[in-house]
Structure 1
Amino acid sequence: MADQPRIFPAEFTWGVATSAYQIEGAADVDGKGPSVWDLFSAEGKVRNGDTGHVACDHYHRYREDCDLMRELGIPNYRLSISWPRVLPTGNGDINELGLDYYDALIDALLERQIQPWVTLFHWDFPQDLQDKGGWLNPQSPRWFAEYVRIVVERLSDRVQHWFTINEPQVFLRYGLVDAINAPGLRLSLEERLLASHNVLLAHGLAVAEIRSVARTTPQVGWAPVGIAMMPASQSAADVEAAELAMSGTPDHLWSNTWFNDPVFLGSYPEAGLREFGSAVPSTTPQEMETISAPLDFLGLNIYTGTYVRSTGDGSYEELPVPPGAARTAFDWPVCEESLYWGARYHWERYKKPIYITENGMANIDWVALDGEVHDPQRIDYLARYLGELHRAIGDGVDVRGYFLWSLLDNFEWSDGYGKRFGLVHVDFETQHRIAKDSARWYREVIQTNGGSLIS
């Protein structure tokens, strides 16, 4: 049988994604207040002493970057808003210059026929609010809701697609448990569960604010990590084992169900409640109703996965990565099936349309002698993962779109500038941009709606 092109559904959404702290820079420009990441990096807690003070200088170069997206045929752009750029102390007085910046960015995108998809929180929590207890403060959900209302009132005449919160599992685990991300704390189990509950309440209140004040009909979702477990074989027992593993609730909060069950099903998972016991904060029916405010879609950030197999007794075991297996520059195993099984599991459990809101790879990229940036590993990685996403759609999973991480090489959190995820190479000293081979490859994928991907 001849090779077949992988054509995606006609209305499939193709795009790229970034986040404010990772690319904007201008950390103390035009009235912006400090975030937890400003303090964390200023204290030398990031690899090589790197900070996001300048990053990709997108704040000053956003028009150039919008031009790049237009040249690369990018039709949709997932960006985030910096909370302390809008509200320097986290609540109270509005920084109009911050809102003006996002106004201008949205206009620049639309002028180039690029649709904005806006994430309201991508980890840059205001430091002033952190000093008041951060996500442990019972007022934190209302702080977030106040900020969301201000942003949506300003931008919703032109923005229809909203994500409330990005990857709660990551900023809670690495920031409040392992202390390797901002704000660098090590909380008790009771405290981390309280913080996660407040994050969920913040999400629910944000959904209500968006629907209340949006000036155009909003489409609302959120973007947790999609923790993907893959069956070691196609046997029913191994598939069931993978599903069980993806439903797990470990105490470091690296979980699908602890965050998504309350949002989509209105309750915490029973397995988690049994495991955490008295450490779970008290909740009210009204709170759970707030958290489970109806969403239009589920965003999933998926990069890798873990193979599991049934142990034959209703449980499972994780399999080690084979020696010499393909890995990215982040040392993450290349597991393209993670996109298939992660999307399939979440669709079958929650029955909400899915967008892959982040997927991509850290690579060791540099400017070659010919002045170009050649990244064949990234092209191969993306082709593998998109092939598995296409397979999921063919098997009935309602996947509506794919946002590649990332447009630009950027500040990669606690790893600083040592990991390059971008379609566009950034020289962090000169800010010179060079579109990589993968950028042109992705342009063809978009232009052909996947037709350039051959099975």
Structure 2
Amino acid sequence: MATKQVKFPDDFVWGAATASYQIEGAWDVDGKGLSIWDTFAHAPGKIKDGSTGDIACNHYFKWREDVSLMKKIGLHGYRFSIAWARILPDGLGKVNQDGLDFYDRLVDWLLDHDIDPYVTLYHWDLPQALQDKGGWVNRDTVQAFVDYAGIIADRLGDRVRHWITLNEPWVAAVLGYGLGEHAPGHKNLGEAIQVGHNLLLAHGLAVPVLRERSEPEAEVGISLSLSLGTPADDSSAAREATNRHDLFMNRWFLHPLFKGSYPEEMEPILGMMQLKREPEDAAVIAAPIDFLGVNYYIRHLVKDGDEFPPVNLQFVKNPEAKYTDMDWEVYPQGIRELLLEVSKEYKPTKIYITENGAAFADTLEEDRVHDTERVEYLRGYLAEVGKVIEQGVPVKGYFYWSLMDNFEWAWGYTKRFGLVYVDYDTQKRIVKDSGLLYKEIIALNSVE
């Protein structure tokens, strides 16, 4: 069979992404305060393998080596997050200069290696001191975030040209406060609804602050976890359940950001959950953004069911599909279908794929990792991204998740997503076959 070369625009940004708690380690070093993930991971029974992010990939001490790996792969951009508790140990008040210095050095080192920093301000690691005051359920945390954003922009805004306010507020709200699978481990859907709103409000208030305190060409956006839903059968019940899936997984956050209100069908749920909001919140949340970050991993086959009440869905498996180690279906065209839907409905002027990737059970063999499934995954998904650009969707960059294997939240170290293999005992890094393929794709600016 003949292969087709899918080419990308000349200015397309090729990158990889990480998050502070997942890679940095140094959890109590140089004045850093506790985060909710420090607390959660140290609580017995919360993490699948009983591990923590105390050391993780030791990136806090190995950052120069890690930037060298990025350069070796040929990355144009590196998306990383800042640990709020490293900057403000109590979440507000006194600034920890050692924490700021770390990110200051990292940004300079990236720029010295011609790698553009894409900075995420919040990737789920809320300072524990703020959680002790109610966390994201407490509206005061919104202003604390805005103040924190200003501190970071004051220090880095002369060099950082790409800001992401929040990573996946749906996950932070639902898994953290609704289902209890992530920190802080609460199981209260009413809290999750309130947290979702307060996160959106924090984003909206931070956007102008980041713009005012950065260089004029800086851009500000947000990264949302979006998933495609497909009816599991031809029944009207499955179609209606798929619409509810889109409402719950995607439109809950997209709609207020781009259309200035929650979806009409969401209002009964917000009322039932007694969402507290002010009349002016909607306009604040809808502050114009320069780009939408899309984190895409999953296509769900949906039917009516009893999961996620009161949305009431059930996910079924595709017997003909391959699945990753996370039990996520490998369905490359899903990324194109989702991007076409989002582009048509919400018309973002610029999109970055800020996360996409796959966990597989990698095996180290004589300093090589032959991750053929990830190689195939990368080719398939990137080909679909190339096609959707040809269809007119303004995708300007792609950040593979993740640069390296790391602490995978509630799964601990049992899932490997990286382009780079990490031996957690020795902290040795080895670029996998997928990383070598990615290097080739970047160099050619095309994929077969």
TM-score by structure 1 length? 0.91
CA shift for structure 1 position 276: 3.7
CA shift for structure 1 position 408: 0.7
Alignment of 1:244-393 (within 5 A): 244=243, 247-249=246-248, 255-307=249-301, 320-323=316-319, 325-352=321-348, 353-368=350-365, 370-393=366-389
Structure 2 counterpart of 1:228: 228
Structure 2 counterpart of 1:86: 87
Structure 2 counterpart of 1:185: 186
CA shift for structure 1 position 282: 4.2
Structure 2 counterpart of 1:159: 160
Taking the aligned partners of 1:437 and 1:66, their CA distance within structure 2 comes to 19
Taking the aligned partners of 2:360 and 2:441, their CA distance within structure 1 comes to 20
CA shift for structure 1 position 190: 3.0
- Which piece of structure 1 moves more, 60-69 or 192-201? 192-201
**1:114 partner amino acid:** I
Contact 2:303 2:316 in 1 (8 A): no
**2:116 partner amino acid:** Q
TM-score by structure 2 length? 0.93
Contact 1:230 1:242 in 2 (8 A): no
RMSD: 2.3
Tell me whether 1:15 sits opposite 2:15 in the alignment: yes
Taking the aligned partners of 2:242 and 2:352, their CA distance within structure 1 comes to 20
CA shift for structure 1 position 181: 0.9
Taking the aligned partners of 2:217 and 2:75, their CA distance within structure 1 comes to 23
Structure 2 counterpart of 1:400: 396
Q: Which structure 1 segments of 5+ residues have no match?
A: 250-254, 311-315
Taking the aligned partners of 1:90 and 1:446, their CA distance within structure 2 comes to 39
Taking the aligned partners of 2:315 and 2:193, their CA distance within structure 1 comes to 29
Structure 2 counterpart of 1:313: none
CA shift for structure 1 position 309: 9.2
CA shift for structure 1 position 277: 3.0
- Which piece of structure 1 moves more, 42-51 or 58-67? 42-51
**2:286 partner amino acid:** S
Tell me whether 1:411 sits opposite 2:407 in the alignment: yes
CA shift for structure 1 position 4: 2.6
**2:145 partner amino acid:** F
Deviations 1:274-331 (A, max 9, x none): 3443424243332111111110110111112024699xxxxx9977323363111111
Taking the aligned partners of 2:257 and 2:325, their CA distance within structure 1 comes to 34
Structure 1 counterpart of 2:428: 432
Tell me whether 1:204 sits opposite 2:183 in the alignment: no
Contact 2:402 2:417 in 1 (8 A): yes
Taking the aligned partners of 1:230 and 1:10, their CA distance within structure 2 comes to 34
- Provide the secondary structure at the position in 2 that maps to 1:294: coil
Taking the aligned partners of 1:171 and 1:198, their CA distance within structure 2 comes to 11
Taking the aligned partners of 1:412 and 1:197, their CA distance within structure 2 comes to 26
- Provide the secondary structure at the position in 1 that maps to 2:6: coil
Structure 2 counterpart of 1:143: 144
- Provide the secondary structure at the position in 2 that maps to 1:391: helix
Distance 1:391 1:244, change over 3 A: farther
Distance 1:99 1:439, change over 3 A: same
- Which piece of structure 1 moves more, 399-408 or 388-397? 388-397
Structure 1 counterpart of 2:219: 219
- Which piece of structure 1 moves more, 392-401 or 103-112? 392-401
Taking the aligned partners of 1:327 and 1:433, their CA distance within structure 2 comes to 26
Higher strand share: 2
Distance 1:6 1:58, change over 3 A: same
Structure 1 counterpart of 2:5: 5
**2:394 partner amino acid:** D
- Provide the secondary structure at the position in 2 that maps to 1:304: strand
Alignment of 1:54-73 (within 5 A): 54-73=55-74
